[in-house]
Amino acid sequence: MRKRIFEIMQISKKDDAPSMAFDIVLVLVIFTNITAMFLQTFSSMSAYHDIFKVIEYVTVGIFSVEYILRIATADFLYPEKTKAKAALRFLFSFDGIVDLLTIIPAFFLTGFIAFRMLRVVRILHLFRINSQYDSFNVIKNVLWSKRNQIFSSVFIIIILMLAASLGIYSVEHEAQPGVFENAFSGIWWSVSAMLTVGYGDIYPITVVGQIMAILIAFLGVGVVAIPTGIISAGFVEQYQKEASADITHTDIDKVGEILVTPDSALLGLTVAEMKNLYDVNVYVIIRQELTVLATDNIKLTEGDIVIINSDKLVKKKKRK
């Protein structure tokens, strides 16, 4: 029974109706919970606050049951671990922490502000919905594969931000002691300037400060674009990998090899001539102990093994 419960709570398959129903119900519960949380903030709907609280407690109760069941079936998620270690692994995983943080605030809604702020974490439940789709997995893979480059670029931005804040503080503090009161005021300004937001609540009035602001604004446009370029390149690489994998798997039945014998019609032909005569794609040529890239001007010699790709190979296999 525990294994069946685990299968139902995992990503659903089209042929598993209970699992698909569980996913649909979970999505509806998540959206209902978040909607009730949003509607509670409207003073015009204060008459319905009691209803919203009931909805909140019911949905949190469902989250609690799901949380307990996931702990009880964690050994199926981590089969290489014992039940106790698997449960601990889930408790400290991303899903386990998010589940716990979405349940705690329901019991401390009138407590410390930290507990009330945890209600916002419930929105992270939406990640569970999106995690079932390949597009979300692509994003995760890209961010993870490019984590070092992203970290380096963010580190550069932080250094420039601190340098800009200290610089503008040194220049503007005497002219605007109330505005640039300390280095933190400079950080707020440097962030808004480097990210090209420009709120206008803090700005330099001295000539040196304005020149510095111009330089920082231009610098910010270039520096802040670095993480975007890294992530974009990561997406291109990821989709190219997936496309290559798809081609490899879908064309495997169409790949074959031909031995060039002394009486073969291929002997003496170039790769380009072979492609045109027999309507095939030539990948590589294995010549003795060498693997030769099949460029169009390569001539086929006796003993060559030609690796080709053609739909005709599939037709021959079907006839056999």
Q: How many domains does the chain have?
A: 3
Place of tokens 């008459």: 47
Mean pLDDT of 191-208: 82
Q: Rounded to an integer, what distance in angstroms lies between the CA atom of residue 174 and that of residue 181?
A: 9
Mean pLDDT of 200-220: 87
- Based on the fold, state whether residues 65 and 176 are members of the same structural domain: no
In a domain, 137, yes or no: no
Taking only the tens place, the pLDDT of each residue in 235-267 is: 888 777 766 555 444 455 567 788 888 888 888
CB 300 within 8 A of CB 260: yes
Helices 207-250, 183-194: inter-axial angle, 10-degree rounding: 50
Taking only the tens place, the pLDDT of each residue in 104-151 is: 766 665 545 555 555 566 566 666 555 555 566 677 778 888 888 888
- Based on the fold, state whether residues 8 and 105 are members of the same structural domain: yes
- Based on the fold, state whether residues 300 and 187 are members of the same structural domain: no
Range of the domain at 117: 2-132
Residue 300 is given by DSSP the state P
The overall pTM is greater than 0.75: no
HSE value, Cβ hemisphere, 13 Å, CA-based, for 131: 11
Place of tokens 């072979």: 274
- Based on the fold, state whether residues 244 and 258 are members of the same structural domain: no
- Based on the fold, state whether residues 272 and 191 are members of the same structural domain: no
Q: Rounded to an integer, what distance in angstroms lies between the CA atom of residue 238 and that of residue 233?
A: 9
- Based on the fold, state whether residues 167 and 123 are members of the same structural domain: no
pLDDT of residue 250: 45
Place of tokens 């060039």: 260
In a domain, 27, yes or no: yes
Q: pLDDT band for position 320 (50/70/90)? A: very low
319 pLDDT exceeds 50?
A: no
Kindly give, in sequence order, each residue whose CB lies less than 8 Å from that of residue 271, ignoring residues fewer than 6 positions away.
Answer: 282, 285, 294, 295, 296, 297, 298, 300
Q: pLDDT band for position 211 (50/70/90)? A: very high
- Based on the fold, state whether residues 158 and 76 are members of the same structural domain: no
